[in-house]
Structure 1
């Protein structure tokens, strides 16, 4: 999947414009990068369009994953994207779903297995075909 298609898919599903979708995607991917090890981030980044790799770039000293649950994940996305938490939860589900479509099934499955059980509510909708569209973000 190319970059424009990725952003357009998120924009359509979240019911927002492409410029806002870019902010939402970057907020989600930057938070995901904090939650994964540096190697896991690089594995995922290699399968995403080049402009999205910037959001996933691990910083210095980020080889170890930060350990935080789904609620904190959503809270971080909400802060980064200036959303309320229910809207951020919907955005995370959409971005995860679009990542699932953009990368190989094995890579996404591996990502899912590295997340704690409390992430299930965020990840399972990504596994369903034709994800439900959330409210406007």
Structure 2
């Protein structure tokens, strides 16, 4: 999947007003995910996404230099996405699901399953909703 197609899918599915909002949703979601999963796993996922989008998984220094694999729960995950995307937390949770649904369609193999397996049970449904249909 190409960058423009990925962003267009996020914009359409989330019913965002423009591509800038879709870009922000992708960046917020993937930067936060990159902070939460081990670095090697983030790199594996990034390699299967369009370059500009995958690079967001490698930007993990925003929250106090806490690098990849940092432990935090679902509430903190959603709060970080909300802060980065400039939205309220309920919309942030929805945007995470949309971005990850598109990411699931853009990837092959078990890379997204492995990402999900690396997350605690409270965050897993947010990330795997697109590939497993388990939206809470």
Q: TM-score, normalised by structure 2?
A: 0.86
User: How many correspondences in the alignment?
Assistant: 131
Pairing 1:51-130 to 2, within 5 Å after superposition: 51-58=52-59, 64-128=68-132
CA RMSD, 1 decimal: 2.2
After TM superposition, the runs of 4+ consecutive aligned structure 1 residues lying more than 2 A away are 58-64
Q: 1:63 to 1:22 in 2, by over 3 A?
A: closer
**Which residue of 1 is the match for residue 26 of structure 2?**
25
Q: Distance in 2 between matches of 1:23 and 1:58?
A: 14
Aligned partners of 1:36 and 1:65 also within 8 Å: yes
Q: Report Cα offsets for 1:66-95 as digits up to 9, x if no partner.
A: 001111111000000111000000000111
Q: TM-score, normalised by structure 1?
A: 0.85
Q: Distance in 1 between matches of 2:87 and 2:37?
A: 23
**Which residue of 2 is the match for residue 135 of structure 1?**
none
Structure with higher RCO (Cα < 8 A, 6+ apart): 1
Aligned partners of 1:39 and 1:63 also within 8 Å: no
